Structure 1
Amino acid sequence: MTRRPFIAALVVVVAALTGCTASAPPPVAATTPAAVELLPAERNPAAAPLRLAEDLIPPTNRWFSSLVFSEVPLPVFPFPLAFAPTPTGFSLDLPTVAVTADSIATPFSGGLAVDLGAATFTVTAYDEVAVTLTYADADGAAIADVTIAEGWPAVGVTARRALPIAFGGSLASAGDGAWTMKADGTAFAVVAANAEARGDALEIPAGESAQVSALPVDAEPATWIAAFGDPVAGAVTSFEASATRGGEAASTRLEYTGTAGTVLVPFPGMAAAGACDLGSYDTAYGQVDACRGTTLERRVARISPRASFDLTGLDGEAHGELVDQLSADLAGTGDAPEDTYFGGKALARLATLLALARSLGEDDLAERAADLLEAGLGPWAQVDGCAARDERCFAYDARLHTVVGREPSFGSEEGNDHHFHYGHFLFAAGVLAEERPEAVEMLRPVMDLLAADIAAGGDPLPGLRVFDPYRGHSWASGLSPFADGNNQESSSEAVAAWNGLALWAAAAGNADLRERAEWLLSGEADSARRLWLEPTGLPDGYAHTVVSLTWGAKRDHATWFSDEPSAILGIQLLPVSPIGLQYLAGDPRRVALNVAGAGGESAFGGPLGDYVLLYSALAGPAALDRAEELARERASWDDGLSRSAALAWLAAVRLRSG
C-alpha cells in the first residue's frame, strides 16, 4: 500500500463480538506464502489485470474491480455516488432513482465531467472500501492521484505537479478556496485551498489537493463546504481485525483516516459518530443522511455457527422416521461431481447427513456418513492433486492471486463465487473434522488455502477477498465486467460460506480465524435478511417483497439462471441447514408474504421450489403442518438437499415452536 491523499484508505477495525475494545493486531492469516506454493500454478490468460501497480494483489470481488480488469473502463459506485473514468479524467455523478416493477436502479448517467488532461490511469493503492487511481500524461508521467471511497460523497484529487483541472460546469466562488457549480441537474462543490480559478478551470499547485463533492438537494452550500475542513496531505492505510469473544452482537468500525473532519454517508444499517445534519440523498435504499465525522459503525445480532439441528425432545416416531430416511439417503449417495460448485455442494449435503446422524445419536449411521465424506473429500484435499489430474483438485492462479478449481464452474476461474463454492468444502471439512479429529492434518493444507482465498489470506492472497465491510455483504463477481457494478445473488450461500469457515476454524483449532468467521457470518446474515429477504422502505412501483440480485447500482427481482418466481426466492434459501433457523425464522408474516409473492404452493413445484416449501414452514403453525404434509408427498429433492435433511428441518422448526 502507498501513501495517498484525503480518504486514501480506511482502518477497518472488526470487533467480532461486543464487550471488547477495538485493537490493532495483525490481520488473520489462515496460511502462508509457502503453502500457496505447494499448489500447482497456472495463469488465466483471459483475466489479466490491465491497470494495476506491479506491487499490488489484483483486487478481484471488489466494488471497483472493473477499474483494473475491464478493457473499456466502466462506472463504479462508491455509494452514494457514481464515478466513471474518461479518456482525460473522470465524471462524478449523483444517480437518480428509477423504479420499475422488477428493479430499483441508480445508473450512471453523466454528471460532472472533470478533465485532468490525462491519457491513462493505474490503480496504485486500495483497500476494501477505498481506491486510488494515479493518472498519467501521454508520456507516462504521473500528474494526479484520485481517490474514491464508499461512504464518502466526494472525490479527492492531489496534484503530482501543477495541474489544471477543467470542469463541465460554470464555477461560482463560494469563499476562499471553494467553488460551486451545477451539472446534469446536480449541485457540486470544490474545496481546494491555494487553487487559482481561471474561467471554468482551477490551477492546483503541485502537492496540493482538491475535493469535488456532490451536494444533497437540501444541503446548504456554505455549511456543506465548511464540513470538509482543510485539505489533508497524506493518509494512514491499513486493515485491522480484532476478535474478542463476549456479548451478543458483532460490530464493524470504519475509520476514515487522513482527515480531522469530513462528510460521510452511512450505508443503511450503519451509524455515524458525528451529527447527521448536512442533508440527505435519495438512493436505491431510500433516504440516507450526510453526516459529520470520520467514523462509521455497524452493530448486528451475533450468529453462532451451527452444523447440527437441535432435535432435543424429538418423539420416538419422528426419530424412527428420520433414522430410516437417513439410512436410505446414505445408501443412495453417489459420487460427487467434479467441479468446485456442484462437487462442493454434494459434499456439504453429505456432511449434513453426518451431522444429522450425530444429532440422532446413531453411531453406525455417523460412521457410514463419515466414511463416505472422508472418501469424497480425499481427492480435493491432495495439495498436489492437479499435478496428476484435471478434476477434483485445486491450483493457484499466479495472475489473479487466487485458488481455483481445475474443473471450474460459473466463472470461478475468473474469481466468481469463490465464497459460495469454498464455503461448501469448508463446511464439509469442519463437520468431518469434528467427527474425526485425526482427519484435520489430512484436510488442513487445502482447507486452509480455501479459507485464506476467501477471507483470511496473507501475501500473495488478499486479507479479505469478497466481503465489503461498508455495505456489510460480499461481492460475487471476480472481475465485475458490468455497467451496474459488482453484484451478489445468493445471500444464503454467502451466509453458509462463513458458517463453513467458522466450523472449519473451530475444528482446526484456529481461534483467530473463527472470530473473523463469526463476524463475517453475523454481518452477512444481517444483510441477507435486511437487504434481500426482508427489505423495508421499498419504493412505490416495485412489485415485490424481496430483492434477489443486489448490484452496486441497482436492486433486481431476478436471477442469472431463471425467471421463475420460485428460483428468485429459492436462491436466497439454499442450502437448508441449521444456520438458516437463526436468521430466516424471525418474522412469520414476512415469510408468508414472500412465499405468496413467489406463487404460494405453485412455487413448490418450480426451480428450487423445495427450498421455498421448507421456508414456508416458518410462516406459522398452519404453514408448518402443510409443509410437513407436502414434504412427505414429494418425490425428489434438489441435488444439494436430501429428504432426511428436509424432515430434520421441519422437525427442528416444530420443536422451536413448542
Structure 2
Amino acid sequence: MIPNPDKQSVFDKAAGCILEGGNVEAQDANTSTAVEMEGLVAYSTTRGPMQALITKTASPMWRFTDTTEIPISFYPSHAPAPSDAEKYKIKETLVKDIDSKWKIRVDGSYYFNDKAAQKYASLCLMAVDPSVVGAGPDSGKLLQRCLSKLKTILAPFLTNSWKYTLKYDTVYRGILSSQGFALNDVNADFGNTMYNDHHYHYGYWIVTAAIVNKLAPTWSGLVELNRMASFLVRDVANPSWSDPYFTKFRSFDWFRGHSYSHGILSFADGKDQESSSEDMNFHYGIALFGQVTGDEELASIGRLMVKLNARAIQTYFLLTDANRAQPAKFRPNKVTGILFDNKVNYATWFSPQKYAIHGIQMILVSPVTEYVRTREFVSEEWDQVLSRIPDIVNDNLRNPWLSLLYVNYATVNKTLALTKLEKCKMDDGLSRSWALYMAAARSGI
C-alpha cells in the first residue's frame, strides 16, 4: 500500500534498494550530508511517522549530523553550591554512607549486585570532590577508606568466584550468568542466562570499573578488573567485525537509537525496552571506560551511542506535549512504559504503579541524566502526572521510589527536592549522599 499514490514514481526509483546493514563510523559530529528528502511518509508500528530518504551518492550512504554536546564526565556539570552542601549536610551524609555496612551477596543477583557496586563506587567520587569534602587532609583519608571497602567487595567479581559464575557461551558468543542453568530457570536474574537485560546489568560494572581506574590507577587489581569489564563491553557492544568471540553490537539498534532488553527468547509483541535510563548508563559507562583506559576508539563509540540514545529516549520514551512519535491520546502518560516493536504499554514488568512506571525511566542518576531529562519534560511530567500520584500527595516518604522522583524533580525545584531527600527512604541503587549531591548540582530553583 502506497501512502500517497502521487509518489509512485519515487517508489519505482528506489525499487530493489534494500538496507541490509552497514558500518558505523564513530564520530562525535558529522557536518556533511548525503541525502535528500521526498514528501513520503510511512508509519512505523510504535515509533511514529517515518520520512523517506533517498541517497545522492553513487553507493548508498546516509550521513546525519547532531551538534548537541553531552559532556562525558564523572561529575555533574555544576558543583553543588557551598551553601547547599552545608545546609543539607552532604559531607556528613557521605561519611555515614561510607562507614555504613556495604552488602553484595556472593549468591545474589548480578543485577542487584551491579547496582550496589556502582552506588558504592559513586561514594568514592564524592570523597575527592572539594565541593563536598573541602581540601583538608581528612579528604584523602576518607577516599582511602572508601576505596579499601570498594576493592574488597569487588574481589569476587575480579576472580569470577560468586556462587553463580559468569560463563562464556559458544553458541551466541556472549557472557552469561550461570544461575539460569543451575536453577533450570530461564527467568532467573531477570533472564540474564537468556541474554535478557545485559546492557542494564553490565553497564553498572563498566561504570564502576571506570571509576576505579580514575581514582586508583596504580591498584594491583586493575588488570583483572579491566579484563572482566572488557569482556562485558564486548558481550553487549563489541564494535569489531574481526573479533571472533563476541557478536557485534548485540543489544544496540543503530536505526532506532536504543537497545533491546529481550534476549534470545521470542515474544508475541516483539522485542522491547523498558528502562531507558539504564540503557543510557551502559553507553555512558563505555565512554568513561574508554576514556580512562586510553581506548579512544571505544570512548568515541560510547560518546556517539550516548548522543544517539539521548535523541531516541527523548523521541520514543519521554513524551513532551510536542511529541509526535506517539498518538495524541497516549502522550498525556508522559512516558511510554514498555516500548515493544508491536505495541506501547504504559506499564512495567513488575508493578502497575505510576511511580514505578515513571521511576524505571529514572534509574539510575548520573551526570548525563540532566542532558536526557530536559527541564521542559521534567516540568510537564511532574505537573501533569507525578504531582498527582497518591504517595506524592500524601507525602509517603517510606516509598523508596520517591527518592528517584525527587532527584529528578530537582531540575525544576531543587529546594523542595533536597528537603524531601533528607528524609525519604532510598532506592536500593541510590545512596542518600549521592541523591543530595546530584540534586544540589541541578539548576532548579
Question: Taking structure 2 as the reference length, what is the TM-score of the superposition?
Answer: 0.83
Equivalent in the alignment of 2:293: 508
Equivalent in the alignment of 2:423: 633
| 1:607 CA drift (Å) | 6.0
**2:336/2:345 contact within 8 Å kept:** yes
Equivalent in the alignment of 1:404: 176
Counterpart secondary structure, 1:276: strand
Map 1:56-75 onto structure 2 (within 5 A): none
Q: Distance in 2 between matches of 1:599 and 1:547?
A: 21
| 1:487 CA drift (Å) | 0.4
**Which residue, out of 414, 420, 435, partners 1:624?**
414
Q: Are 2:402 and 1:609 aligned? A: yes
**Which residue, out of 249, 266, 290, partners 1:464?**
249
Q: Distance in 2 between matches of 1:645 and 1:340?
A: 22
| 1:250 CA drift (Å) | 7.2
Q: Distance in 2 between matches of 1:244 and 1:299?
A: 10
Equivalent in the alignment of 1:18: none
Q: Distance in 2 between matches of 1:513 and 1:483?
A: 35
Give, as a single letter, the amino acid of the residue that structure 2 aligns with 1:240. N
Counterpart secondary structure, 1:409: helix
Name the % identity: 24
**2:127/2:143 contact within 8 Å kept:** yes
Give, as a single letter, the amino acid of the residue that structure 1 aligns with 2:234. A
Map 1:195-594 onto structure 2 (within 5 A): 215-216=2-3, 218-220=4-6, 222-229=8-15, 231=16, 239-244=22-27, 249=29, 273-281=35-43, 283-293=45-55, 294-300=60-66, 301-309=68-76, 312=79, 314-315=81-82, 318-319=85-86, 321-337=89-105, 338-359=108-129, 360-361=132-133, 362-382=139-159, 385=160, 390-391=163-164, 393-407=165-179, 409-439=189-219, 440-456=222-238, 458-535=243-320, 536-537=323-324, 538-542=326-330, 543-587=332-376, 588-592=378-382, 593-594=384-385
Counterpart secondary structure, 1:618: coil
Q: Distance in 1 between matches of 2:140 and 2:252?
A: 38
Counterpart secondary structure, 1:400: coil
Q: Distance in 2 between matches of 1:647 and 1:432?
A: 22
| 1:412 CA drift (Å) | 0.5
Point out the more displaced range, 472-481 or 456-465.
456-465
| 1:549 CA drift (Å) | 1.1
Equivalent in the alignment of 1:595: 386
Q: Distance in 2 between matches of 1:364 and 1:303?
A: 33
CA RMSD of aligned residues (A): 2.8
Counterpart secondary structure, 1:443: helix
| 1:506 CA drift (Å) | 1.7
Q: Which runs of 5+ in 2 are unaligned?
A: 134-138, 180-187
Q: Distance in 2 between matches of 1:317 and 1:590?
A: 26
| 1:348 CA drift (Å) | 0.4
Q: Distance in 1 between matches of 2:206 and 2:119?
A: 12
Say which structure is richer in strand. Answer: 1
User: Cα gap change, 1:597/1:452 in structure 2, threshold over 3 Å: closer, same or farther?
Assistant: farther
Q: Distance in 2 between matches of 1:481 and 1:373?
A: 38
Structure whose CA Rg is larger: 1
Q: Distance in 2 between matches of 1:356 and 1:452?
A: 29
Give, as a single letter, the amino acid of the residue that structure 2 aligns with 1:390. K
Q: Distance in 2 between matches of 1:613 and 1:272?
A: 44
Q: Distance in 1 between matches of 2:444 and 2:387?
A: 22
Question: Taking structure 1 as the reference length, what is the TM-score of the superposition?
Answer: 0.58
* Alignment: residue pair count: 409
**2:46/2:341 contact within 8 Å kept:** no
Say which structure is richer in helix. Answer: 2
| 1:610 CA drift (Å) | 1.6
Q: Distance in 1 between matches of 2:11 and 2:250?
A: 35
| 1:283 CA drift (Å) | 5.0
Query: What CA deviation, in whole Å up to 9, does each residue of 1:238-262 have, x standing for no partner?
Result: 74343346xxx479x9xxxxxxxxx
Give, as a single letter, the amino acid of the residue that structure 1 aligns with 2:416. R
Q: Distance in 2 between matches of 1:409 and 1:285?
A: 29
Counterpart secondary structure, 2:175: strand
